[in-house]
Chains A and B, each alone.
Chain A
Amino acid sequence: MVRFVNVTKIYPGQTKPSLQGINLEIDRGEFVFIVGPSGAGKSTLTRLIYREELPTSGQVWVGGINVAKLKRSQVPYFRRTLGVVFQDFKLLPDRTVFENVAFALEVTDASRREILRRVPAALELVGMRDKANQRAQELSGGEQQRVAVARAIVRNPSLVIADEPTGNLDPENAWQIMRLLLNINQMGTTVIVATHAREMVDALRKRVVALENGTIVRDEERGVYGYA
């Protein structure tokens, strides 16, 4: 599903690479934690997957596509095959819950019927259906992130990427979001979560890829967070 081949990323104006010599393979249906201290390159790694950034060298393959080879005009269509969840939710504050989720379908010119079918289903899954008509800015952080998860999955992507999805949440809400991501994974979607939520990583015993100073220092099935 996702393959990094000798990937190095150096941001413009910097000399130290954010990622260096990354080789990583994530299969369809996997649930993978990317862990590491801040600045280790977790976010950069996720950004390379949804082509917010391009690798300086090496190749990033997502679903059989070499993302560096995508034309500018093809990028939107590529992103529609993914779902992305961010630490800061990235919702439109003055729109309702329904509108925020429908947004991901509207940009694809989906029909009204399809929106009316898919959005309530996605909201149901994250337990936000009864708040569909509230504005995003009126919600708690945990609720906002649930809406963001609904937006990420409303198009049935085969890959969901979450970059610090619980970073802004209290433990209870964090667990709720993590449980949602596990549910999504159980339905067959590949899920990649960049996080430094030690407790959850340790409790769930999923595959853990640990980054340090831009390189992979550990890649374990049923791993633990492993930092002091």
Chain B
Amino acid sequence: MLRSWAQALRQAVQSITRSGLMSLASLATVSVSLLVLAVVACVAVNLNLMARELESQLEIRAFLRDGVNPAARQALIEQIQALEGVRSVTFISKEEGLAMMRERLGEQRWILEELEENPLPDSLKIELADPHQVVAVAEKVAAFPQVEKVRYGQGVAEKLLAVTRAIRIAGLAMVLLLMVATVFTLANTIRLAVEARRREIAIMKLVGATDWFIRRPFVMAGILLGMVGAALAAGLVYMGYQYLVRFLVTNLPFVPVAPPAELMQPLGSGLLALGALLGMVGSWISLRRYLRV
């Protein structure tokens, strides 16, 4: 059993090397499409990261009515804390609020000097565990009688989430399209190898070889081609991404980027697995026609 696998592998390598130029061409095609795929994946991951970062900055500010005593305030905090999707609730007193505002204004803090008394109300800063729930939580918080007004990135949150979703869908569609193209390229290469061994396949069938036995070396050849192509693509994207990250970190330090090591490990193994899968599907397709005897 093991021996026949080894033999199938040997035949697979043989059929790849025998049709050298075509194998090379298909390797290149596989690499290029997987490379594009990897780039799309990198962009998607980083956009996601960016969106996530922006999403996580979405917070709700709840301004309290005057005269809510500390005990009632504490109770309110606990009630809000208990709401679904809330990560943390922080009390910001009117003094703290003023200090924060002063800091934000910077040079223009003189505006505040004109004030006779602190015009700011006490407030609560509510951070969310799930940014998708920002609207729902905000509505619930607004319903508490101690709360005078609620403020959050109305509209901005929804828009941001919609954009992220659109990017994910577009990326996925593109990746799917490329995968189909890759499968057909591989199928064509394997078809050539099959064509070269038509006679052998016919004889195999006559002496009672099962479809699977005939398929095996070609499927292996497909998997090998797919994986080698994927490895090339992974190598290229790894080098490119590292270079890009170095550039971004030095020149645009405020842009969040996924660290290369963290991104490349799953991406690399994902590409390899995908390459293998595409090769398998491609060779399967190319053989279907020849096995009908």
Contacts and interface: CB of A to CB of B under 8 A. Distances in A.
Contact of A107 (B199, B202, B208, B293): B208
Most buried by B among A76, A78, A80: A76
A73 interface: yes
Contact of B206 (A50, A106, A112): A50
B1 A107 contact: no
Contacts, number: 48
B208 A80 contact: yes
Interface in B207-256: 207-211, 213
Contacts of A222: none
B158 to A, nearest CB: 55
Given A106-B4, A109-B4, A112-B3, A79 B200 contact: no
B204 A107 contact: yes
Contact of A109 (B1, B199, B203): B1
A106 B208 CA distance: 10
A106 B11 CA distance: 14
Given A90-B203, A92-B200, A107 B3 contact: no
Nearest to A82: B208
Interface string A168-205: 00000000000000000000000000000000000000
Contacts of B199: 92
A91 B207 CA distance: 11
Contact of A84 (B204, B206, B211): B206
A209 B202 CA distance: 29
A79 B3 CA distance: 23
A104 B210 contact: no
A76 B203 contact: no
Q: How large is the interface on A (under 10, 10 to 19, 20 to 34, 35 or more residues)?
A: 20 to 34
Nearest to A107: B209
Interface in A93-113: 103-104, 106-109, 112
B226 to A, nearest CB: 26
A107 B207 contact: yes
Contact of A73 (B202, B203, B210): B210
A146 interface: no
Nearest to B3: A112
A104 B200 contact: no
B114 to A, nearest CB: 90
Contacts of A50: 206
A104 B4 contact: no
Given A92-B200, A92-B203, A104 B208 contact: yes
A77 B208 contact: yes
A173 to B, nearest CB: 21
A151 interface: yes
A158 to B, nearest CB: 14
Contacts of A151: 207
A79 B206 contact: yes
Contact of B209 (A52, A76, A78, A112): A76
A210 B84 CA distance: 89
A197 to B, nearest CB: 23
Nearest to A77: B208
A54 to B, nearest CB: 12
Contacts of A90: 202-203, 206
A196 B205 CA distance: 27
Interface in B29-77: none
Nearest to A106: B4
Given A92-B200, A107-B213, A79 B207 contact: yes
Nearest to A109: B4
A77 B212 CA distance: 13
Interface string B1-27: 101100100000000000000000000
Interface of B: 1, 3-4, 7, 199-200, 202-211, 213, 293
Given A73-B210, A79-B208, A107-B208, 4 more contacts: A92-B203, A106-B4, A107-B207, A109-B213
8 closest A-B pairs by beta carbon, nearest first, are A107-B209, A79-B208, A80-B208, A76-B210, A104-B207, A76-B208, A90-B203, A107-B213
